Amino acid sequence: MKLNDTTAKILCGLTRYPELDVKELSKKIGLTQWSIYKGIKKMKDIGLFREVYIPNFSSLGFELLVAGYGSLTKKKMYTIENLRKIGRKNFSSSIFYAFAESYKGFVFALAKSYTDFSRSLIYAEKYVGVRDLLRSENVNIVFLPLSLTRMPIFFDYSGILCRDFGVHFPKKSERVKRMNVKGIYLSVMKKILENPDTTSTQIAKNFGISIQRASKIRRELVENGILVKRIIPNMRLLDYEVLVFAHWQSNPGEMEAIEKIDSNVEEYDLSPLVFLAYTSLEGIAVALFKNLQESREIISLFENLGERVGVLSGEPNILFLSLQEGVKIKDHDYYPLVEDAFRDRSSRAILTSKATP
């Protein structure tokens, strides 16, 4: 699908500045409010993007980002299907994103602790024999402690879209604030995560407050980092065909080179990346490309990091998946995570934002 210049500029602006309303976005990208309204309606009508809200995981009591990836035989896929049927208290409720193509794929999940994750595995083993699956198949699990993990890119599509559309918008500076959240703020947060399309009018009606108050609560949750708003484009409609998942081991002494990557995009083109998380020992990333030949660029990037910079301690594990033929098993489903947190009375009392997803 080819977008005209105005629509492309609007989509790029939405992904770069998702927290802005139409009036603010109009000033930022230099288009009239009416043009933006029309462009947004047109894109929503064809399903070109949707809005999601991502909770502040640390403030909800989660300590581990967990990634599982690999390939399975057809027989073992039945085990995965059974996992989805054994009730709420299993690690499928902790998965917020999962993509599979044929019998290979990856999942992203969260756990409040390693003990919490192990308890989920024990539960899954009791009902479907998941241990045999992990032992006999080419499946890997990565644990990244949130307190030690940097996530400079968290499902941010602005880099890849701005590059493709030839639009330059400066990166927004992160506003680091602290906020104690309780009472009506927690209830509104839960409602928004349950249905990201919920309007301020609906929130006001649901909780018996004014529309102005509902708007103010939503705005403060975003401004203070309790919720992070993202625009998720339908990359299939934009002719992207390949999704790449990568996992690598790092040399801790060379990790300053990773910091260099964050700022030096001329030497290292990170625009294909929509997700990046790493510690000094290892990292994971997700990237998108329009064809398989183009996706080989990520191999060159890792070769450069390994041979020239010396960051990598071995060959990375890379999955090349068909975006056109693959299936999103879980697609930014954060509400179950919040449900778990709300069951915990300590999380129910006060949440403190750290201004990170």
What is the model's pLDDT at position 126?
A: 60
Q: Summarize pLDDT for 166-184 with one digit per residue, the tens.
A: 888 877 655 545 566 678 8
What is the model's pLDDT at position 169?
A: 82
**339 vs 349 pLDDT, higher one:** 339
Q: Summarize pLDDT for 32-43 with one digit per residue, the tens.
A: 999 999 999 999
Is residue 311 within 8 A of residue 255, CB to CB? The reply is yes
Any idea which of 42-51, 144-153, 257-266 has the lowest mean pLDDT?
Answer: 257-266
Give mean pLDDT, residues 175-201: 80
Give mean pLDDT, residues 146-152: 91
What is the model's pLDDT at position 146?
A: 93
At 125, the pLDDT band (50, 70, 90 cuts) reads low
What is the model's pLDDT at position 272?
A: 92
SS in 3 state form for the chain? CCCCHHHHHHHHHHHHCCCCCHHHHHHHHCCCHHHHHHHHHHHHHCCCEEEEEEECCHHHCCCEEEEEEEECCHHHHHHHHHHCCCCCCCHHHHEEEEEEECCEEEEEEEECCHHHHHHHHHHHHHHHCHHHHHHHCEEEEEEEEHHHCEEEEECCCHHHHHHHHCCCCCCCCCCCCCCEECCHHHHHHHHHHHCCCCCHHHHHHHHCCCHHHHHHHHHHHHHCCCEEEEEEECCCCCCCCEEEEEEEEECHHHCHHHHHHHHCCCCCCCCCEEEEEECCCEEEEEEEECCHHHHCHHHHHHHHHHHHHCCECCCCEEEEEECCCCEEEEECCCHHHHHHHHHCHHHHHCEECCCCC
Q: Summarize pLDDT for 233-281 with one digit per residue, the tens.
A: 999 999 999 999 999 998 887 766 566 555 444 466 788 999 999 998 9
What is the model's pLDDT at position 124?
A: 59
What is the model's pLDDT at position 346?
A: 46
Return the CA Rg of the chain: 21
Give the CA count within 13 Å in the CB-facing half-sphere of 92.
Answer: 17
Report the topology of domain 58-147+329-352: Alpha-Beta Plaits (3.30.70)
At 344, the pLDDT band (50, 70, 90 cuts) reads low
Distance of CA 258 to the CA centre of its chain: 20
Give mean pLDDT, residues 123-131: 56
53 bridge partner residues:
229
Angle between helices 33-45 and 5-16 (to 10 degrees): 90
Any idea which of 170-179, 195-204, 226-235 has the lowest mean pLDDT?
Answer: 170-179
- Domain assignments of the chain as residue spans, ordered by start: 58-147+329-352
What is the model's pLDDT at position 226?
A: 87
What is the model's pLDDT at position 343?
A: 64
C-alpha dihedral over 109, 115, 119, 125, to 10 degrees? 80
User: What distance in Å separates the CA atoms of residue 19 and residue 89, rounded to the nearest whole number?
Assistant: 33
* Token digits of residue 146: 């949130």
pLDDT at residue 84 is higher than 70: no
Q: What average pLDDT does the chain have?
A: 81
Is residue 13 within 8 A of residue 156, CB to CB? The reply is no
What is the model's pLDDT at position 351?
A: 53
Distance of CA 37 to the CA centre of its chain: 26
Is residue 136 within 8 A of residue 104, CB to CB? The reply is no
User: With a threshold of 0.75, does the pTM exceed it?
Assistant: yes
What is the model's pLDDT at position 285?
A: 95
